[in-house]
Amino acid sequence: MRTILISNDDGIKSKGIWELKRFFEKDYKVFIVAPDRERSAAGHSISLHNPIQLQEIEIESVYAIDGTPVDAIHMAFLGLIPKPVDLVITGINNGLNLGSDVFYSGTVSAAFQAVAHGIPAVAVSIDNSDGDIHYETAVYYTGKIVKKLIDGGIANKVILNINVPNIPVDDVKGIEITKLGSRDYNDVLVEREGPDEKKYYSIEGELSGDILEKDTDVKAVHEQKVSITPLHWDVTAHHYITELRNRGFHTLT
């Protein structure tokens, strides 16, 4: 039986992670290792200087940790769960991870941590901006994509970032293979004074709009399609290496 590891950044109590477990445990051996609370926008942070507490939620299969999503993947592959694992699924994230969101998302970062261990991974997110969340739609399409991946494989160090519109399965207008798009946020720095009379700051803001460029994940979801964006671990700007050499950067002394 194939083995799947599921994690997320919304925490062990998030409905999305349990919906995935219920669906996949019919055909796969499923493990869950996830944060014990919401750790959204944790990015690729890891707990280098703090000990991590572990709770066993279901015997030898479901665990919660008080660390980050990346900690969860690290712990899973450093001995918490038995090997081998065929695929990692992170999500279902409560909210889309489009465009530059992928650089902050704990969901996407956990998937990248899986490929760092040599395990293929998909990150799954669903829109949460309109009423009740249709997790069943995200589960349905994740199931289809995972089966095709396991049957045919996935390129080394590549994750699939999947974004799903929040509509019933029958209303989805197809799947589109996309590139990262652009989203605009109005971020502001808010200053407050605490009971100790010290100043505290928080970064707050909201999405102000999406840029609907052709072939992007942002546009696909706006068109009520499921978006699949392949993302690579190697973020080197390969096209710029020759430019830097031609300008003599390598000769600086």
**Residue 105 predicted with pLDDT over 90:** yes
- Is the pLDDT at 129 greater than 90, yes or no? no
201: in domain: no
- Tell me, yes or no, whether 58 lies in a domain: yes
The pLDDT value recorded for residue 12 is 97
Mind listing the pLDDT tens digit for each residue in 159-196? 999 999 999 999 999 999 999 998 888 888 999 998 99
- Residue 175, beta-bridge partner list: 226
Is the confidence at residue 209, as pLDDT, over 80? no
- The answer to whether residue 163 is domain-embedded is yes
- Interatomic CA distance for residues 15 and 38, integer angstroms: 12
What CA–CA distance (Å, rounded) separates 73 from 85? 11
pLDDT of residue 205: 77
Query: Is residue 244 predicted with pLDDT exceeding 90?
Result: yes
CATH number assigned to the domain comprising residue 245: 3.40.1210.10
Whether residue 196 is contained in a domain is answered as no
How confident is the prediction for the chain on average, in pLDDT? 94
Please give the tally of structural domains in the chain: 1
Residue 239: per-residue pLDDT: 93
In a domain, 219, yes or no: yes
Tens-digit pLDDT profile for residues 196-205: 989 999 888 7
Residues 234-241, mean pLDDT to the nearest whole number: 93
How many angstroms separate the CA atoms of 88 and 4, rounded? 6
pTM over 0.85: yes
| Angle at the Cα of 48 from the Cα atoms of 46 and 51, rounded to 5 degrees | 105
49-88 residue pLDDT tens = 889 999 999 999 999 999 999 999 999 999 999 989 999 9
Q: Is residue 21 part of a domain?
A: yes
Which domain range does residue 237 map to? 3-182+211-251
* 216-to-63, 68, 222, 226, 243 alpha-carbon distances in Å: 35, 29, 10, 11, 27
Position 187 in a domain: no
